[in-house]
């Protein structure tokens, strides 16, 4: 049997990440549209077309470097979906719902990849033997989407989890919290360069192992 390890890990991982990022960003756009904000539609973001959501560096180049350096996790990002909370019926609540739609889409997609793996294993098909294209793609699908969901739920502006924090804060504190968006990205970069992000993402690593053990036990139990 041919060895797909390097080629499939690189190409397959990037393809799965692109699909996952596209679904994440489009979920933001659709949620904002449904909650009364026409801005994503006006900017052409209410679509599943990857070209409308991907960023050449954050969605392709940076993840590719993580793959080639054999990083223990793979993460990426798309172009932020523009929204105007003033157009929403309940700005703070609806902004939080728009934000949570992204991680929710990744959790759903991760569950679908998990279900696919389990169903193929239960069917005793050789398509999911270790090292095959199918097993690698399904494994990436589970791991990438779990990481994307948990990473984006970190309560640090401008990540999605910070919007839920904002909703829970009283008015004056909420406005001050929103103003942290401008410096939050620099905090994230500092966490990444210092290695602290790896420590913060430890829950995601443990969740990945727990999730893996769960569906393996379900498959072979």
What lies within 8 Å, CB to CB, of 171 at 6+ separation is none
Domain count, the chain: 1
Give the model's pLDDT for residue 1: 41
Q: Output the CA angle 21-189-195, nearest 5 degrees.
A: 100
Buried b (16+ CB within 10 A) or exposed e, 78-107: bbebebebeebeebbebbbbbbbbbbbbbb
- What is the value of pTM for the model shown? 0.85
User: 54 has which bridge partners?
Assistant: 78
48 and 22 Cβ atoms separated by less than 8 Å:
yes
Give the model's pLDDT for residue 75: 79
148 and 20 Cβ atoms separated by less than 8 Å:
yes
Give the model's pLDDT for residue 216: 61
Range of the domain at 167: 5-220
Give the model's pLDDT for residue 190: 84
Give the model's pLDDT for residue 172: 87
96 and 163 Cβ atoms separated by less than 8 Å:
yes
Tell me which residues are annotated as active site.
25
Cα–Cα separations (whole angstroms), residue 24 to 48, 77, 174, 180, 218:
10, 9, 25, 23, 28
Spans of the chain below 70 pLDDT:
1-9, 71-73, 123-131, 204-205, 208, 211-213, 215-221
Which secondary-structure segment (H or E) carries 208?
helix 202-220
- For CA atoms 11, 111, 185, 98, give the dihedral sign: positive
Give the model's pLDDT for residue 140: 86
Give the model's pLDDT for residue 189: 78
Give the model's pLDDT for residue 95: 96
């Amino acid at each position: 049997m041919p060895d797909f390890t390097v080629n499939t890990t690189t190409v397959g991982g990037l393809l799965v990440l692109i699909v996952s990022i596209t679904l994440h960003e489009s979920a933001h756009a659709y949620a904002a549209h449904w909650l009364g904000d026409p801005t994503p539609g006006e900017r052409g973001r209410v679509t599943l077309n990857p070209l409308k959501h991907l960023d050449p560096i954050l969605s392709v180049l940076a993840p590719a470097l993580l793959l080639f350096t054999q990083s223990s996790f793979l993460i990426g990002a798309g172009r932020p979906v523009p929204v105007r909370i003033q157009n929403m019926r309940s700005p703070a609540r609806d902004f939080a719902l728009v934000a949570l739609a992204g991680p929710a889409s990744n959790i759903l997609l991760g569950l679908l990849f998990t279900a696919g793996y389990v169903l193929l294993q239960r069917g005793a098909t050789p398509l999911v033997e270790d090292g095959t294209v199918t097993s690698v793609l399904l494994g990436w699908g589970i791991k990438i989407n779990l990481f994307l969901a948990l990473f984006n739920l970190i309560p640090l502006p401008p990540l999605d989890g910070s919007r839920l924090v904002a909703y829970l804060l009283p008015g004056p504190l909420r406005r001050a919290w929103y103003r942290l968006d401008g410096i939050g990205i620099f905090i994230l970069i500092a966490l990444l360069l210092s290695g602290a992000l790896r420590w913060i993402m430890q829950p995601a690593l443990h969740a990945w192992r727990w999730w893996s053990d769960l569906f393996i036990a379900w498959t072979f139990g």
